[in-house]
Amino acid sequence: MTTGFFDGLSPARYQGTPATDPLAFRHYDPDEVVMGKRMEDHLRFAVAYWHSFAWEGGDPFGGPTFERPWHPQDDMGRAKMKADVAFEMFDLLGAPFFCWHDADLRPEQGSYAENLATLEEITDYVGEKMEGSKTKLLWGTANMFSHRRWMAGASTNPDPDIFAYAAATVKGCIDATHKLGGANYVLWGGREGYETLLNTDLVREGEQMGRFLSMVVDYKHKIGFEGQILVEPKPQEPSKHQYDYDAATCIGFLRKWGLQDEVKLNLEQGHAILAGHSFEHEIAVAAAEGMLGSIDMNRNDYQSGWDTDQFPNNVPEVALAYYHILKAGGFTQGGTNFDAKLRRQSLDPEDLIAAHVGGMDTCARGLKAAAAMLEDGGLEDALAERYAGWDDPQAQAMLTSDLSAIQARVIEQGIDPQPRSGRQERLENYVNRFV
């Protein structure tokens, strides 16, 4: 017996490019083998509970528009109906994974102990549903930004009681993630940042955050949770400045606290854009440090200064992202979450399916293009050629030399280096052959 929410909509299945059915996959064939691995195993799609089921359609200038049967979300009965609908959608899409915040799953109401109890209740319920489904948990996380208690941050809060509450909350969420077999646990620093430096002590808050993350890592080991611990860079919003600004900032922070081997990054395209970076930049930076964990492959409107969290739909951009992911070895524990935050005017259940089908198909197309580029090897060859000079032992030796010796050699040999073309246009055209 179904909820009836998706009545009239058929499962989305692969039909290939001739298909015009708006809810069929034209590119995503889970079983197609790409570079020796099934596409489903490469992409590891996860549906995000928050935008797809918990967001009610409000924005800063207006209230809810969606009016789902499980809204308003202040009741455990409706929380279970929401889970029923969610799993119906996972089945329709053939989604291998999903992910959640605690507050997506059930209402936050009452004391910490009461919230912990309802979290256990709903995750038991969800666990049962998972048994009858192929959909697994990519990651869980704690929402420590929506309730007013978090308004000045969680682990970085000026009030130590809120730090305590945050620690307890994360423990509960890691436990729940572990119980459901989650492959990762994510921390997004929602309000870990500041509104104004006038009332903020950066040193204290940095120390609180470093210690907090260390405790999370300790706890993971203590309970034998083998998932990755991930942090998620974002430059701002809701805070004026978020401490996890971008990949480089997070990496610096992890290294400062000695966590560079324990924590990896969950990168989001939209957050990259808001920080002034391309998504492939963030991926490449994380990969260069061995800290690429998982991704949120959504899309941000380039002209909006806030998080629009749309499903990915630009294949050339997505292809470059997967190119860097594949180059770094692809996902092991991580995967492709994508926020398919509907536009506020997209009221119909069909819109929800369309957003996910469109996003998955775009990713599949991007992945195949990326794999083709890697297999062709054109970019790698160009790179090897460009840096070939450094393969020379003398060049390598210079890296352990000193300024005086190098200067002497420059003078003696009359070194007068001539620039060579970077050939960017040719490489950009090359990419367009594959997308």
**How far apart, in whole angstroms, are the C-alpha atoms of residue 86 and residue 355?**
14
Of 176, 178, 54, give the one whose Cα is nearest residue 125: 176
In angstroms, what is the minimal distance from the CB of 365 to a copy of itself? 8
**How far apart, in whole angstroms, are the C-alpha atoms of residue 105 and residue 88?**
15
The reply, when asked if residue 428 is annotated as ligand binding, is no
Tokens coding 280? 């492939």
**How far apart, in whole angstroms, are the C-alpha atoms of residue 83 and residue 139?**
16
Our CB check for a copy of itself shows the closer of 139 and 185 to be 185
- In the region spanning residues 62 to 101, those forming contacts with a copy of itself, defined by CB under 8 A, are 62-65, 67
Phi–psi pair at 211, nearest 5 degrees: -65, -40
Tokens coding 327? 């180059």
Among 84, 91, 262, 351, binds a copy of itself (CB under 8 A): 351
The reply, when asked if residue 268 is annotated as ligand binding, is yes
Binding mask 170-189 toward a copy of itself (x if CB under 8 A, else -) reads: xxx-x---------------
In angstroms, what is the minimal distance from the CB of 22 to a copy of itself? 6
Among 195, 262, 372, 374, binds a copy of itself (CB under 8 A): 195
Binding mask 27-46 toward a copy of itself (x if CB under 8 A, else -) reads: --------------------
User: Which residues are within 8 A (CB) of 415 and not within 5 positions of it... i.e. 6 or more apart?
Assistant: 409
Is 104 considered catalytic here? Answer: yes
Our CB check for a copy of itself shows the closer of 86 and 170 to be 170
The reply, when asked if residue 207 is annotated as ligand binding, is no
One-letter identity of residue 421: S
If one asks whether residue 375 binds a copy of itself (CB under 8 A), the answer comes out as no
Binding mask 137-176 toward a copy of itself (x if CB under 8 A, else -) reads: --------xxxxxxxx-----xxxxxxxx-xx-xxx-x--
| DSSP assignment of 195-228 | S-GGG--HHHHHHHHHHHHHHHHHHHHHHT--SE
Of 127, 214, 104, 113, give the one whose Cα is nearest residue 178: 127
In angstroms, what is the minimal distance from the CB of 323 to a copy of itself? 9
Number of residues that bind a copy of itself (CB under 8 A): 159
Residue 120 contacts residue 108 (beta carbons within 8 Å):
no
In angstroms, what is the minimal distance from the CB of 158 to a copy of itself? 5
In angstroms, what is the minimal distance from the CB of 335 to a copy of itself? 22
**How far apart, in whole angstroms, are the C-alpha atoms of residue 379 and residue 372?**
11
Catalytic residue among 29, 51, 102, 104: 104
Q: Which residues are marked as active site? A: 101, 104
